[in-house]
């Protein structure tokens, strides 16, 4: 009887460990602290933009979540308010838009964009302080 109890407990523990491992493998959320360096975080954020962020950009906050669709939000700080404004101007020149997929509303400040390779829509808006930009990008 003791052997069956131990076997039963071992089975329950094994099943619990299996579900814990499964849950960990499905956890695709990433936050800023999950990146080994600022460069990796900046490259990850840049992959969700029409034009890469300048190399001196500091990622202050980043959250990425994925299940069937994904969503990225980030706050980045450029070297100056002028650099932030220039980045938004460059993004406007290089972006693609898809009014049918993403909607046609341009943010009051900043820019919207469409990433055709990812079927993703995004916005970049000025943040506070003035050298920061707020990024939001997601699939629909």
Predicted confidence at residue 4, as pLDDT, reads 53
Predicted confidence at residue 140, as pLDDT, reads 78
Closest Cα to residue 57, out of 28, 87, 77? 77
pLDDT band at 19 (very low <50, low <70, confident <90, very high): very low
Closest Cα to residue 137, out of 127, 126, 119? 119
Q: Show the 3-state SS of the chain.
A: CHHHHHHHHHHHHHHHHHHHHHHHHHCCCEEHHHCCCHHHHHHHHHCCCCCCCCCCCEEEEEEEEECCCEEEEEEEECCCHHHHHHHHHHHHHHCECCHHHHCCCCCCCCEEEEECCCCEEEEEEECCCCCEEEEEEEEC
Predicted confidence at residue 68, as pLDDT, reads 82
Q: Tell me the pLDDT of the chain averaged across its residues.
A: 86
Mean pLDDT of all residues in 71-76: 98
| Of residues 5 and 8, more confidently modeled | 5
29-139 architecture in CATH?
2-Layer Sandwich (3.30)
* Token reading at 93: 């020149």
Q: pLDDT by residue (tens digit) across 56-70?
A: 999 999 999 998 899
- For the chain, the domains span 29-139
Q: pLDDT by residue (tens digit) across 42-56?
A: 999 999 999 999 999
């Amino acid at each position: 009887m003791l052997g069956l109890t131990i076997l039963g407990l071992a089975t329950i523990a094994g099943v619990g460990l299996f579900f814990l491992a499964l849950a960990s493998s499905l956890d695709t959320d990433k936050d800023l602290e999950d990146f080994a360096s600022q460069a990796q975080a900046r490259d990850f954020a840049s992959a969700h933009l029409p034009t890469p962020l300048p190399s001196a950009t500091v990622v202050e906050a980043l959250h990425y979540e994925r299940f069937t669709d994904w969503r990225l939000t980030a706050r980045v700080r450029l070297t100056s308010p002028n650099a932030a404004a220039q980045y938004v101007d460059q993004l406007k020149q290089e972006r693609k838009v898809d009014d049918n997929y993403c909607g046609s509303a341009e943010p009051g400040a900043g820019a919207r964009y469409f990433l055709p390779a990812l079927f993703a829509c995004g916005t970049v808006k000025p943040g506070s302080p003035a050298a920061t930009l707020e990024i939001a990008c997601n699939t629909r």
